[in-house]
Amino acid sequence: MKPDFDRVIPREGTYSLKHDGRAAVFGTADVLPMWVADMDFAAPEAVNRALKARAAHPVYGYTLVPDSLYGVLIDWMKKRHHWQIEREWILLAPGVVPSLNTAVMALTRPDEGVIVQPPVYLPFFSAVTKTGRRQVLNPLQCRDGRYSIDLDDLEQCARNAKLLLLCSPHNPVGRVWQRAELQAVLEIARRHDLTIVSDEIHADLVYPEFQHHALASLADDPANVVTAVAPSKTFNIPGLGLSALIVPDAGRRAAIGKVLDMTHANIANPFSLAAFEAAYREGEPWLESLLAYLKKTRDEAAAHIQSELPDIRMIDPEATYLLWLDCRKLGMSDKKLQRFFVRNARVGMSPGASFGAGGEGRMRMNIGTSRQNVMMAIQRIGQALDSDRM
């Protein structure tokens, strides 16, 4: 059956961070939850079947990773991203955020520089600061509503760093980096012996007019590239927590594996394994339907924002289900901006300032929900702005 993304599935009472965490985050539960990056859609039916089948066996003991799981990931990367990876390159991890921290600890020493490109997903910063590394900022540039990597500045940063954390596609600005941009980054990394950890968790959520390029697939020698992938964002199963690091270089792979072993993190959860394999094996038709739905939502949201919220500029996302809204024309401080959206508009979004330099005066809206919810959020914001002007 074709998935029904217009169906509203109540999530209250399921200990959903996005829904049941509203009061703790916003001070009230009376906001539309458009913040944390999971979707309100039912997972693919293939995933639900696999989980039910595994739950039918009443023993949930320590579990081995089946070879077939590696096979479906290899097949997915080849089919969707035209990248032939090898079985021995794959390390499983309990999530992409733990993977970032693990890679930083394994591939750098305390006080060595790690490059972060703000505005960017908050755990990129904590992966540096909480592991005792030195943060080196390479802020993105924004010209005419489109973001780009400041390559000249990156060249300078690379002289004083050992590792770059790259977000590709980018959260929150929604950029899909073009082949030429990525090749330029690879060349800088080659000149300065810089390791790149490329977070490609949103790689499957690219709109049809754009194409994601796996960074390592563009390298003549991918030894200095570590790629983080997961089915969690693609198939809306982030609570199950399983991800993979693709590490072509044996030395880097051994170093990362050593840190993973030290943590004794249990990756072989029988349910996450079942969902991971089912999603990559059978989830592609669901994903294609999702992308079509998200594209229509994105386009309708853009039209409504342009016509009804003239003082808010939406940065057109090339990937992800996240909208980056430039609200600086409203003339509010970040604190007042957040208060306005919560108290006046009753819409709970992620404040742009939390994504670091360049996020000031912006908000991130999650449109991974029914189109009705997205339009309601825009309507509420419009009504709040009208009332504020009176």
d(CA 289, CA 373): 19
Look at residue 388 in the predicted model and tell me its pLDDT.
77
Look at residue 159 in the predicted model and tell me its pLDDT.
97
Residue 183: Cβ-neighbour burial (10 angstroms; 0-12, 13-18, 19+) = middle
**Tokens describing residue 352:** 């742009």
Instruction: Name the segment(s) of the chain with CATH classification 3.90.1150.10.
Output: 17-44+284-389
Instruction: Name the segment(s) of the chain with CATH classification 3.40.640.10.
Output: 60-282
Look at residue 263 in the predicted model and tell me its pLDDT.
86
Number of other CB atoms surrounding residue 181 within 10 Å: 16
Look at residue 265 in the predicted model and tell me its pLDDT.
78
**CATH 3.10.20.30 correct for 17-44+284-389:** no
d(CA 323, CA 176): 14
Look at residue 146 in the predicted model and tell me its pLDDT.
95
- DSSP line for 80-118: HH-----GGGEEEES-HHHHHHHHHHHHS-TT-EEEE-S
Among 3.40.309.10, 3.40.190.10, 3.40.50.300, 3.40.640.10, what is the CATH number of 60-282? 3.40.640.10
**Tokens describing residue 227:** 């790629």
Number of other CB atoms surrounding residue 147 within 10 Å: 21
Look at residue 390 in the predicted model and tell me its pLDDT.
63
The 3 state secondary structure assigned to 255-288 is HHHHHHHHHCCCCCCHHHHHHHHHHHHHCHHHHH
Give the C-alpha distances (Å, rounded to integers) separating 92 from 25, 250, 279.
31, 15, 16
Look at residue 324 in the predicted model and tell me its pLDDT.
98
Look at residue 12 in the predicted model and tell me its pLDDT.
97
Handedness of CA 172, 173, 178, 182 (dihedral sign): negative
Mean pLDDT by runs of 10 across the 390 residues of the chain is 94 97 97 98 98 97 96 98 98 95 97 98 97 98 96 98 98 98 98 98 97 97 98 97 97 97 85 98 98 98 97 97 98 97 98 97 98 98 88
